[in-house]
Structure 1
Amino acid sequence: MFISSQSSAPVFKDVTLIMPAVAVGNVGQLAVDLIISTLNLRRVGYLHTDCLIPMAGNNPFATCKDPEELHTAAEVYTASDLKLAVLQIRAPIVKAKSKKFRQLLLSWIKTNGFSKTIVLSSSHDYQRDDQQLQGTPLRYLITPSLMKESADALKELGWKEMERVPDNQGRSDANTEPQIFVPGGGITKGLYTDSCAMEFPLAVLLIFCSEGDNIPDAFTLLNHLNDWLHLLDSPKQDANKWKIPTSWSLLFGGGIPPALF
């Protein structure tokens, strides 16, 4: 599944992995773009799988000094000094192969011995439960195996855990056992439940949002993550500390042609 672009394969043992879920507003992917661009992470390989819609394009982080090169649907970047790896997913997951992709991904994570995995995701804000309308739009989920080592840190941060809500979707029974519900979250819930069953150290950070200009949501989610991992010092005091990739200049296409008026 993983193909190294280096002469020697990278070592991921005891490294923290950050990855997005392809979800509403692409917030996780935007946040990962900011991490790669700001920390100047080095691409070390890519994931080759038929579970993602094939795509290729120019380097989204290129400057005029960089050589031209193609980038693919799922790539891995690292910063060895930070013990950090980032998986960027740029293409939708084939719906019929969602479960297969989760299994391949978790197998790769287990084989390489990552210390923990953090999934950045999002969920439809219009489908929130009444209790989820209160306070911050940010939520987290954490597997029991990671909770053992992160409980004190999370308590100090004062984060809000994702609420369990009754699953009354198309059911007549109003007393259904509450469960995790992440509408618009793609493989988020599946990754979390699979990781719980396999005793993987995994955490999900997500934000309730709507489709549109989701750049502010990405900054909010990333600052939330930084409170925990300290990727940068005090980014909230200077928003410019997060470096916007060059590809974002085309995020919404070109401007309105003056000839229209």
Structure 2
Amino acid sequence: MKYLTYVEDVSKDLSGYTLISPSVSVGNVGQLAVDLLLHNLRCQRLGTFGHPSLQPVVGTLPDSDADGQTHLMTAMEAYVCEEKKLLVIQIRAPISPKGRLSLLAELVQWAAERGLKRVLQLASCHAAARPDPAAPRLCHVTVAGDDVDALTALAPPQPEIPRPEGDAHRPPPYLPGAGFVPDLYRACEAAKFPYTCLLRHTYEGNNIPEAVDICNCLDSWLGLLDESQKSRPDPYSVLGRWRMPPTWSHLFGPAPDASLY
């Protein structure tokens, strides 16, 4: 039985598009990277997903349009960038373990039925779990069938992480802190659907730099930013050539009351 629902513009042809999705992982790096993509690529909202395993979230979302309007946001939404042929999903709530496999399998099936060509996941992983502290912090994991030759020079394949004792029963890949990356990996593998995950090793904290790293890698690989954006980087900002999304206006909450000091 299918539980995944999707309300959308049914006339939209998504053939040949790449589906980009974050994982709710350590430091929320994938979700921050998706925020950067949505704002800088001027993605248009296309639809919203619903599933019993999605924890309910609803609220107002600041719009990047000049009219300054706000829009209703939900736990899982889809946006489209027609110029780059991208379908970008933002997930704003954890996915419950009960029903997670069903959601991901149905999402992959939906992507295949709509003619999308690959799934590209953005995520993070606990840096302390790296087998070699000197290894690159940005790596990739892929399912056979996806063309990642150009990506390998930017983000090498993720090395195997040693498993703790008593955890050998779980199927690969083992990626502590990466959220549902292993589950989506296996869902795409079972469906023989091309899949690649860009994985940034990190710690909890201000994870904006890690999100920028992922987006810079995506831009070098897929050519996302136009020349006008690339020619005006800000050398004094960690964002570089990326513009800060309005959704980050309250990222860390208000500053401490000065009277406390």
TM-score, structure 2 length as denominator? 0.87
What is the one-letter code of the residue matched to 1:253? G
**Contact in 2 for aligned 1:165/1:179 (Cα 8 Å):** no
Asked if 1:57 is matched to 2:59, the reply is yes
Cα distance change, pair 257–193 in 1 and its aligned pair in 2 (3 A): same
Question: Residue 210 of structure 2 aligns with which residue?
Answer: 217
The equivalent of 2:151 in structure 1 is 154
Q: 2:73 aligns with which of 71, 77, 81?
A: 71
Name the SS of the counterpart of 1:96 in structure 2. Answer: coil
Letter in 1 for 2:46: V
34-43 or 176-185, which deviates more: 176-185
**Distance of aligned partners of 1:184 and 1:253 in 2 relative to their CA distance in 1, 3 Å threshold:** same
Q: CA deviation at 1:190?
A: 1.3
Letter in 1 for 2:244: I
Are 2:185 and 1:192 equivalent residues in the alignment? yes
Q: Tell which deviates more after alignment, 56-65 or 70-79.
A: 56-65
1:257–1:72 CA distance, 2 compared to 1 (3 A): same
Taking a change above 3 Å as real, the CA distance of residues 96 and 214 of structure 1, as seen in their structure-2 partners, is same
Counterpart of 1:52, as a letter, is: L
Higher helix share: 1
Picking from 2, 6, 17, the partner of 1:2 is 6
**For residue 175 of structure 2, what is the amino acid of its counterpart?**
V
Distance (Å, rounded) in 2 between the aligned partners of 1:257 and 1:166: 45
- Displacement of 1:20 in angstroms is 0.3
Deviations along 1:204-252, one digit per CA (max 9) or x if unpaired, are 0011111111011100111112111110157597244212111212101
1:80 counterpart = 2:77 = no
On the 8 A contact 1:21/1:185 being kept in 2, the answer is yes
1:120 to 119, 122, 131: 122
Aligned-partner residue type, residue 2 of structure 1: Y
Q: Which amino acid aligns with 2:256?
A: I
> C-alpha deviations, 1:35-73, integer Å up to 9, x for none?
000111100111011111001111144467233321111
Identify unmatched segments of 5+ residues in structure 1: none
- Indicate the percent of aligned positions where both proteins have the same amino acid: 32
Q: Which runs of 5+ in 2 are unaligned?
A: 234-238
What's the offset of the Cα at 1:178? 10
Change in CA separation of 1:187 and 1:40 when aligned onto 2, cut-off 3 Å: same
SS in 2 for 1:197: helix
**CA separation of 1:170 and 1:38: change in aligned 2, threshold 3 A:** same
TM-score normalised according to structure 1 size = 0.87
Relative to structure 1, the CA distance from residue 102 to residue 236 in structure 2 (aligned partners, 3 Å threshold; closer, same or farther) is farther
